[in-house]
Structure 1
Amino acid sequence: MKFIDKTIEWISPTMALKREVNRAKLSAFRKATNSGYSNNGASRRKNSMKGWHSDSKSPQEDIGQNLAVLRERSRDLYMGGGLATGAIKKNQSNIVGSGLTLKCQLNYRMLGITAEQAKEWEDRTKFEFNLWASSKIDNTGLNDFYDAQRIMLTGWLLNGDSLAVMKYADAAERLNPYRMRLHLIEGDRLNNPNHTQGYSPILTTEGFSPSEYVELSDGRTIRNGIETDPNGKVIAYWISNKHPNSTIPQGHITQWARVEAQNPVSGLPNVLFVMDAERAEQYRGVPY
């Protein structure tokens, strides 16, 4: 290069000066664009990263549009045994074990009662809670509250999220005087309806499949079965009456129930939804 530069300088000093100026500008540009992460994790020049083609969009696109595949692969790994099964089984043991139990401890001073009164209330509440929790409290009549914890935890890890609908039996049972029940539902059944059952017309948004993202004319949105108001707050869950991939003939067409997130009378949740969010404004979970 030095020989070429000297030759050009001898033939045309003006051209040699332009080359030096352009060389200085190029050097300054490289320094400006190769600072911080651009020279490390965001580098497009390193040989180890030249073939790394990445793209990322909103949580609804990155996660919501890939949920079906993520769940299928997660279950396939789990059903195949080995590390995936062991990872989830270990979490079952470490997180819930034989089941999380109620521990009552009133702040009796703030409530203006005596320690003896607080102890009496705590003992009575523990007894009544244990009576309910040890009964068959799910809709199948097979699981008690401690079994339900394990099932929901497994569903959360395996499918990305897990949910249960709060229900009340028509009448108390002999061994369970409490009517509250938990209807455990697998995450697949939380999905968008293919019609709005009398609601405003569906407006599909470009870049999304109608089965994953639906905009209603009044500003509400349904994302993978979760309905939000115009501000993004969760207000309802859309639950189908059968698994979307099931081939078992059940004698009726697929229908959706719209379950409000909160009971309008009591203010208590109608749905218990378990998810470990990784990003802001994320509505569905990613399998463990």
Structure 2
Amino acid sequence: MVSYKTPVRISAQAYQGAGTGRRAKTWNPSRASINTILTGDLDRLRARTRDAVRNNPHAAAAREALVSNMVGTGIVPRTLSQVEARREALRLAFADWIEEADADGRCDFFGLQGMVAGGLFDGGEILVRRRRRRQRDGLSVPLQLQLIEPEHLDATFNRDLERGRTIRNGVEFDAIGRRRAYWLWRGHPGEWQTSADAARRVRVPARDIAHIFNPLRPGQIRGVPWPATVLTRLYEIDQYDDAELVRKKTAALFAAFVQKRTGDGATGSAAEAFGGVGDPPVEADELDIVLEPGTTQLVPDGYEMKFSEPADVGANYEVWIKQQLRTVAAGMGVTYEQLTGDLSDVNYSSIRAGLLEFRRRVEAWQHNVLVFQFCRVAWRWFAEAAVQAGVVPARGFAEDRRDFLRAKWIPQGWTWVDPEKEIKAVVMAIRAGIISRADAIAEFGYDAEEIDREVAAETARVERMGLVLDSIPKQTDQSGKMQRTPQQREANDGRES
């Protein structure tokens, strides 16, 4: 018979992080949901982040580093349709539509990607609205995309509706939790309004909105600005650095102060030098002391000259500021070198290791946030509009809609510190069968089919003109030696046999 002992009562927390002793008694974090927390804090977080981007060079540098690495010159789609004619029609239609995608006419489609990435950084989220256009508008595809700042979506707007529908943080959900609509201010709340209509909410169906943010917790409705964890630190570093700058500026000012002595009598020689014995004492407003290079200045009896000695910055300033900025870089998701531009302490191995980790993080953001939430949705809207407008043949759309929407998104390729080594490694991987040539080309940000078309056209043109180039393997080998013609290979094989 098995007997069980009564569990021993635990008198203290097994996890020190859950302790309630002297060291942790003031540590009482909120247990509220992420949506409840953001209801009260989101507007202030967003305002402070944007203030930092406007006025703090480190915050601005981090934003630019993330945008340039996430988007660069653009994340390009490659249609994966199984029908060759359909692939070509979609490719050409998208190439024409790229420059018309922005409803404001300021960017092309890839520029919109950059604005979305920037909005994720300082706003935590951004909204993209589908704008259907008429055929008479003259667009290649009757569709445009409008970017909307998250201030249009009131985080404090919560309401219960009929049939189990609810509005939470400005987003309307149905009874089973699906997003059905977004309640947007017609005008920006921070804009100087010209009409009362701008302060009215508009219900926009969720099918026409792409709400892009990086979800941190299950059930999260709104996005959090990316520098939220280091905002206070960044603000105080900026204040401290500014104070040190003023301190150094004060130290550079050569200042002298003339102070009247107390309890000292005038000496005869000094008295004679300033008017002779018996002259009245010199008053403070009558002093004529000018500091000039190479001069010797006499001070009247009863006065003495003291020079300012402001405190220096100190030897620990550089070490301390570097440590703080490393923490800020970690909180913003960039490297210290990207945040500051300081490459003094890096070598090839260390900077490559740091970039590898950073790029792995960027690739996760690219595919899980930017591509999945924005690019994929924009491609679906584009394909539907192109088919409806007859730009792309509609045959088979109803039966096999997924074939029209299937696409692979290719980010801009990475530039390495030592590209020769990287290229050789890629060639070895292809020859060993580890990766395909198409995937290798995609890693450099190009489309394999487009590269093949260009190479074929270039080879045909070179041969037609009778040129011999090292870039064409069938003409020369890697050392530049001429390759044998088919006739030469045949003759050589005959001799060997």
Does 2:12 match 1:34? yes
CA distance in 2, matches of 1:238, 1:81: 33
Does 2:14 match 1:70? no
Number of aligned positions between the proteins:
218
**What amino acid is the match of 2:94?**
F
CA contact (8 A) 1:189 1:242 kept: yes
CA distance in 1, matches of 2:76, 2:32: 41
Does 2:139 match 1:169? no
**Equivalent position of 1:83 in the other structure:** 58
Q: Secondary structure of the residue that 1:232 maps to in structure 2?
A: coil
Question: Structure 2 regions of 5+ residues with no counterpart?
Answer: 1-7, 227-497
The structure number with the bigger radius of gyration is 2
Q: How do 1:211-222 and structure 2 match up within 5 A?
A: 211-222=156-167
Q: Deviations over 1:242-286 (max 9, x none)?
A: 11233x132233112111112xxxxxxx11110111111111010
Q: Secondary structure of the residue that 2:17 maps to in structure 1?
A: coil
Shift of 1:185: 0.4
TM-score (norm 2): 0.42
**What amino acid is the match of 1:80?**
N
Q: Secondary structure of the residue that 2:50 maps to in structure 1?
A: helix
CA distance in 1, matches of 2:162, 2:86: 51
Q: How do 1:244-283 and structure 2 match up within 5 A?
A: 244-246=189-191, 248-253=192-197, 254-262=199-207, 270-283=208-221
Q: Secondary structure of the residue that 1:36 maps to in structure 2?
A: coil
CA distance in 2, matches of 1:252, 1:51: 47
Q: Secondary structure of the residue that 2:202 maps to in structure 1?
A: strand
**Equivalent position of 2:121 in the other structure:** 157
Q: Secondary structure of the residue that 2:66 maps to in structure 1?
A: helix
Shift of 1:144: 1.5
Q: Secondary structure of the residue that 2:181 maps to in structure 1?
A: strand
Are the structure 2 counterparts of residues 168 and 189 from structure 1 closer, same or farther at C-alpha, using a change threshold of 3 Å? same
CA contact (8 A) 2:129 2:148 kept: yes
CA RMSD of aligned residues (A): 2.0
Shift of 1:239: 1.0
**What amino acid is the match of 1:99?**
G
Q: 2:95 aligns with which of 122, 130, 138?
A: 130
**What amino acid is the match of 1:157?**
F
Q: Which runs of 4+ in 1 moved over 6 A?
A: none
CA distance in 2, matches of 1:91, 1:169: 33
Does 2:164 match 1:228? no
**What amino acid is the match of 2:110?**
Y
**Equivalent position of 1:188 in the other structure:** 151
Q: Deviations over 1:144-183 (max 9, x none)?
A: 2111111111112211111111011223545x32110111
Does 2:7 match 1:43? no
TM-score (norm 1): 0.70
More helix, by proportion: 2
CA contact (8 A) 2:133 2:144 kept: yes
CA distance in 1, matches of 2:212, 2:89: 29
Q: 2:184 aligns with which of 222, 236, 239?
A: 239
CA contact (8 A) 2:183 2:203 kept: yes
Shift of 1:81: 2.7
Are the structure 2 counterparts of residues 249 and 62 from structure 1 closer, same or farther at C-alpha, using a change threshold of 3 Å? closer
CA contact (8 A) 1:64 1:284 kept: no
Q: Deviations over 1:201-257 (max 9, x none)?
A: xxxxxxxxxx432222432211121001122221111111111233x1322331121
Q: Secondary structure of the residue that 1:41 maps to in structure 2?
A: helix
CA distance in 1, matches of 2:117, 2:29: 32
